[in-house]
Structure 1
Amino acid sequence: MQDAKSEADEKLCSDSYKQKCKAYEDLYYIVAQAVQRCKKAVKSSETAESLRASSEVRLPKIDLKTFDGTRKQWQVFYENFKSLIHDKKSLSGLQKLTYLSSVLKGHAESYVKNVPITEANYAIVWKNLVDHYQDIRALGSDLLDTMLTYPPMQTANTTSLNNLIHSLNDSVEALKNLKFEKLDDFILLNIGLKKLPFHVRRLFENEVKGADVPTFKEFIDFLRKQAKIAELTQTSNKDEKPKTQPPKTKVYLNSNSKNRDCPVCEGSHSIYACEEFKRFPVHARIERVKSLKRCRRCLGTHEDECRSKFACKECNQKTHHTLLHSNKTSSSNSAFTQHGSTSEENFEDQKSSIILTNLQATSTDHQDYTALLGTALITVKDINGKYQHMRAVLDSGAMSSFVSADCAERLGLPLLPDNTSISGLAESHVNSLGAINCLVKPRQTDEPKLRIRAIVIPVITENLPCVKISNEVRQFWSKLNLADPSFDDTNAKIDMLLGSEVFVRIVSGQKKITNDLGHALQSIYGNRGDGSGRSTSCSDECILISRSRLQDFETSILSSSGSSNLLRLSTA
């Protein structure tokens, strides 16, 4: 009995021990798991704190090249940034993008302007930049152009020679760094392409658009194919002439004339522009024309060859000039003389009528007068998105707008092909160097902006005004908010000529002030002053202001409404 009881107690103790052991074991694992979770949490917190601290560390300053989008600067910038930033594995993408954002300017800045600074965005931005600017063919063409278009030296002094050496050496080394497979092949290709018309070159580019750098052989094969096409599409009748001439664009520019001596006063103007001749009574004018053996219709020197189609403004007859109309009253003659109105000159080529404005006219008190032409200071957007100040003459008679070659070079805008035939007085021709599309705005406000296609020519005109303005005229105009505050600066160059296609968008047509010293029209650039004013020196030059009657144009402008401002060209 006693043995059975002892056995039962022993079994009970054994079961209780096992239960306690199991409980302790379960508790151990629970605690161990909790410890592991705590360790992970602490490690994660330390990592986050470390990252936060590292991100707040100020990035070291590195001397990096800036890049404004000019292709010629790309290779230097690319090598510099790649070696100092892009290839550094110790820098994060976020840090690299921060550096990149700080050195992109101008047009290149648009690649990062609206991009969040994040780790992942660096690779995207860098790839976009490289894809656009790392065009070895375009880079090589720019370098070749730099060498081939380097201006000839006027004097072989030390400075000029060193500049040439640096320019050539830099271009050659840069070409070598581009690592063309066949550099001589690329040079021949580039020279050949320059000889092609624009539309043929476009055909070539479309044909080889899959190749990074076409070979010279591909270029020659293309030319042979085009020659074959031209041969097959030629008309079989070589003597056949086109029924109609292809349309030509002609632009009539302001021009100087120094060989038009007046037979009455020996001044540098035509007889119908002579103030002394206009002061004669009508019968005296007729007798003077007879004695000079001049044509009664055009006042020219060859009556039997006169082809004038103009009629007298008083009686609408084509038998005589307006100045020789015998029924004109004395008051009409007085008004004609006072305002100095000019009649149209009759050329053999009757394509246009031209108004002549003298820079010098002789009055009864022998004072000298000069014509104030409408000029304005404007701003024009250049290739880098910045606005440059330019001085423009506003000519309602010019069929197109023009820009000087020097101005076009400063703007750096793409030069477009242009085959406009530009002619002036006596069919004098000016060669077009191309054309640019530009954005023009007032110098003091951001609006309105005008998009203008301007033809590039060597020079617009000489400095305006040609002679110094008297203090009386200067003081009168300086009181107004002028479109051109430097209207009296004889050293001020003319950068642009804004023609009739934008004239009506510039001038509001409201005449501000009119008196003996001229008149002003409101424009988007300020008050535009024109007319005649006393000068302090004489000039025997005359300028052709426009190819059409400015009186009629002014009438149409003054009857219109708008908010623009302009300076009207004088007809006095």
Structure 2
Amino acid sequence: MSLESSTAPVPITPSAFSKVKLPEIKLPNFEGKLRVWITFRDMFISLIHRNHQLTEVDKFTYLRSSLVGDALQEICTIEISVANYKIAWDLLQKRFENKKLIVKAHLDVLFAEESMKRECYDDLNHLLSEYDRNLQILDIIGENTQNWSTILVYMMCSRLDFVTLHHWESHHCSKEVLTYDELVDLLRNHCAVLQSIAPAKPCQTELKKPRFTVSHAHATTEAANRCLFCGEGPHSAFKCQRFQKMKVTERYEHVKRRGLCLNCLSPSNMARFCTKGFCRYCRQKHHTFLHNEVTNS
């Protein structure tokens, strides 16, 4: 059965529906990411699965409407019915209730968290929230993260900017290894201070260069890349069709008028100091394009 046909309304007898008005329950979508399975599972069980006012059909309908992507593919071929709700729910649990992979998914988030570039409320608050959320879920599934204190302090400190790290080191001033909870308490207090002054000190990620500066730099780069002979480009004199179509006398005048090197046609050299080759015809210090129009010296 295709996904389109599986999502179409299934004929259900009136007795299959509950007699109460369905509560307006807003569930988060679950697309199959293991790091959000526990949150989705617990919320669905609390609001839907154990709700005795809902029939099995109601629960199945809520379940289908909250799944997307790979998660929906797991049960999309199962028709909505009283008997099939338990089958669908058990199938999802069998697929995503994998403690080993769930632990790995949350540890991946902790280890992949980027370091702060500078002292900033938004970045520090994000760092604290990500660690707090993932550690809470690891505790829920049976990992005793209280025993991870030392390694967590190291991981968190390695992601702090220099100013915030200096603040932490100055605060505890101890040769003893302090706990992760002590570090988090200090950082949350520091975060509150940064929040109060945030408007006067925006994060680096919020700072944007004025548009005119970017445009000016772009225009300057374009101008520098333009051909000195035709004004277009970017290309060198050796690939400039206008320059190549000139008579040798015209080329020589253009080069002299612009103060270019007679040997390499560059604005940054002088012919007598230039080491970039010589005329292929007479082996003198001038470019082959200018042969017969300069004195062989």
Per the normalisation by structure 1, the TM-score is 0.27
Higher relative contact order (CA closer than 8 Å, sequence separation 6+): 1
Per the normalisation by structure 2, the TM-score is 0.47
The structure whose Rg is larger is 1
